[in-house]
Amino acid sequence: MGGDRAPEIVLKGANIAADRCPELHFLLFGDEKIIAPMLVKLKRLQSRITIRHTDKTITNDMKPSQAVRNGKGASMYEAIRAVREGEAQAVISAGNTGALMALSKILIGTVAGIRRPAITSLLPTSHGEVVMLDLGANVDCDAEILSQFALMGQVFAKTVFSWKNPSVGLLNVGAEQQKGHDEIKKAASLIKENYPQIDFHGYIEGNDIAKGTVDVVVTDGFTGNVALKTAEGTANLVSEFLRQTFKSSVLAKLGYLLAKPAFHKLRHRLDPRRYNGAVFLGLKQVVIKSHGGTDAVGFAAAIDVAVEMIKNDCLAQMTEQFALHHETPVAAVV
């Protein structure tokens, strides 16, 4: 029931994802009176859906603490509980981000050894994609939390996208060792010390994200959120200027018509729907946040992320890696 055009785009998105993945089954949490009539048109989906009726929802203006206190029975709450109870393997929501994170932390919990889950997503680069975290879950991150993000991102990139030896960079204001604030410097030391299995590139700068200098970009949730939204804003600005350019003369309009098929490819490469589906990485189960303003194609992409995480057993790897590191040494003393 979450997002700007739910449950319509959720159903249509599920329909697209179901076509791509024949073994997929959906538990739909929401208002059956609204959902059932919409399903009539989606024939093939009907047999692969179970509706769990509730007319209670968590609204976008609700604070995380309110959602935790009063959420029981709401569609988001019950969907997360279904994952905890093993009825489903992943939850996907386009609703209230803060509420989804708070409820997931409480109902599902984090992998042993991981202090904080991070919002993790793919971003486009000049020659492919980059994994970036945290994109907004934790506005304050100390050095240990940042260092854990490095391992979380590396395991995610390795298992879900099969990248061989993903390199990890720490977002900073310069590449030199003395740059940045104390927590960044400590985080760099901790990564080198605690996780020698990581191909740690060191510091990177903002322009390195789109350049694809590294495979995984690690940063705190404040900086990551600002960087992500600044990138979106800049891409929109350049697109807007481009539109104006093509309207500025008759020749330019004609030029646009000729180049139109090529432009469709460009639009596809930068299509934010392709990158929809942010993972709440570090939780014991798969929780995916879809953009609230996306459409069916975008929502299907978010479902795809969940499918890939499950198929590639990402969280088992995550648990193993953190168990290896955080094992408490046991000594038998006589």
Asked if 225 interacts with its own copies (CB under 8 A), we say: yes
Q: Please pick, from the candidates 237, 316, 323, 324, the single residue that binds its own copies as defined by CB under 8 A.
A: 237
The alpha carbon of 237 is separated from its chain's Cα centroid by a whole number of angstroms, namely: 24
Binding residues for its own copies restricted to 2-61, rule: CB under 8 A: none
Q: What is the CA radius of gyration of the chain?
A: 21
Query: Which range in 9-17, 100-108, 145-153, 258-266 contacts its own copies by CB under 8 A?
Result: 258-266
DSSP string across 165-204: S-EEEEE-S-SSTT-S-HHHHHHHHHHHHH-TTSEEEEEE
Long-range contacts of 312-317 (CB under 8 A, 24+ apart): 312/159, 312/160, 312/162, 313/159, 314/155, 314/156, 314/159, 314/160, 314/286, 315/111, 315/284, 315/285, 315/286, 317/155, 317/158, 317/159
Closer to its own copies at the Cβ: 88 or 168? 168
- Shortest Cβ distance from residue 130 to its own copies (Å)? 11
Instruction: Give the chain's end-to-end CA distance (angstroms, integer).
Output: 60
Asked if 257 interacts with its own copies (CB under 8 A), we say: yes
Q: Please pick, from the candidates 113, 180, 202, 292, the single residue that binds its own copies as defined by CB under 8 A.
A: 180
Query: Which range in 25-33, 101-109, 152-160, 216-224 contacts its own copies by CB under 8 A?
Result: 216-224
Closer to its own copies at the Cβ: 44 or 181? 181
Query: Which range in 17-25, 124-132, 274-282, 287-295 contacts its own copies by CB under 8 A?
Result: 124-132
- Shortest Cβ distance from residue 286 to its own copies (Å)? 24
- Shortest Cβ distance from residue 217 to its own copies (Å)? 10
Question: Which tokens sit at 114?
Answer: 């991981």
Query: Which range in 19-27, 39-47, 51-59, 248-256 contacts its own copies by CB under 8 A?
Result: 248-256
Q: Please pick, from the candidates 84, 246, 312, 317, the single residue that binds its own copies as defined by CB under 8 A.
A: 246
Provide φ and ψ at 313, rounded to 5°: 55, 40
